């Protein structure tokens, strides 16, 4: 992270700040959040608009999802970071195995196989970037909207701003050291922390786009 900038100003309302000074990250690199529009998936790029390309019979609407206004809009909403490393059952620099399936008891994520073993593993990724927002603005994390995998899933979340101030680390929580002092009187800060389920024995591959960050103006 030592080669990453301290911060990237997107607008008067949004600045991305990096944890580049944290000693744990000196031999690790992770780029900043980028616009979702830069990561349109291959299936969508190659999808033809004419439904008859894929069906032999006649259908009442001869359009594919290429014409879906909802999907078209999602191409331009949010920010993401491609995974800098594979995410497996082993912890790495940014992922921590501090969540277990029983935390989602009663859902499919706590399901077990015939050998009474959990089907899914859970992990939390602590990304070495955070958002500094104009006071009253918020950040919501959702799954990436335009691609899906049968082997992994990313959960949505919307924590409050400045929820656990750590003055020793200039940060929120205990994970990383930040060089930028917190100014919570004028700004709201949000860590980028994402929770993922992945099928046991598989991994979430490096460069996968797993989540979307949606910035919400005050009052939205």
Q: Is pTM, for the whole model, over 0.85?
A: yes
Report the chain's mean pLDDT, rounded to a whole number: 95
Residue 138 pLDDT more than 80?
yes
Confidence of residue 108 (pLDDT cuts 50, 70, 90): very high
What are the angstrom distances between the C-alpha of 140 and each of 3, 158, 206? 28, 5, 23
Q: Give the gyration radius of the chain's Cα atoms.
A: 20
Give me the residue spans of the domains in the chain.
7-36+80-216, 41-74
| 190-207 confidence digits (pLDDT tens) | 999 999 999 999 999 999
- pLDDT for res 61: 85
The pLDDT score that the predictor gives to residue 76 is: 87
Q: How many CB atoms lie within 10 A of CB 82?
A: 15
State pLDDT tens for residues 148-197. 999 999 999 999 999 999 999 999 999 999 999 999 999 999 999 999 99
Cα separation of 44 and 144, whole Å? 14
* 7-36+80-216, CATH topology level: Deoxyuridine 5'-Triphosphate Nucleotidohydrolase; Chain A (2.70.40)
CA 35 – CA 53 distance, rounded (Å): 31
Strand order in the sheet with 34-35: 34-35, 79-80, 211-216, 138-143
Model confidence at 57, pLDDT cuts 50, 70, 90, reads confident
């Amino acid at each position: 992270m030592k080669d990453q900038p301290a911060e990237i100003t997107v607008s008067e309302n949004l600045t991305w700040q990096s944890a580049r000074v944290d000693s744990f990250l000196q031999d690790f690199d992770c780029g900043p959040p980028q616009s979702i529009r830069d990561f349109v998936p291959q299936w969508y790029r190659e999808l033809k608009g004419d439904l008859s390309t894929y069906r032999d019979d006649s259908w009442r609407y001869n359009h594919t999802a290429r014409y879906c206004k909802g999907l078209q809009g999602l191409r331009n909403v949010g920010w993401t970071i491609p995974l800098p490393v594979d995410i497996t059952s082993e912890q790495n620099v940014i992922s921590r195995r501090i969540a277990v399936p029983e935390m989602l008891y009663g859902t499919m994520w706590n399901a077990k196989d015939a050998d009474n073993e959990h089907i899914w593993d859970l992990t939390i990724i602590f990304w070495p970037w955070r958002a500094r927002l104009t006071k009253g603005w918020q950040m919501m994390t959702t799954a990436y909207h335009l691609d899906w995998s049968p082997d992994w899933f990313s959960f949505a979340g919307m924590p409050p701003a400045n929820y656990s101030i750590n003055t020793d680390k200039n940060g929120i929580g205990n994970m990383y050291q930040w060089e930028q002092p917190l100014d919570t009187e004028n700004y709201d800060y949000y860590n980028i922390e994402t929770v993922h389920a992945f099928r046991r024995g598989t991994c979430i591959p490096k460069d996968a786009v797993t989540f979307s960050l949606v910035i919400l103006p005050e009052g939205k």
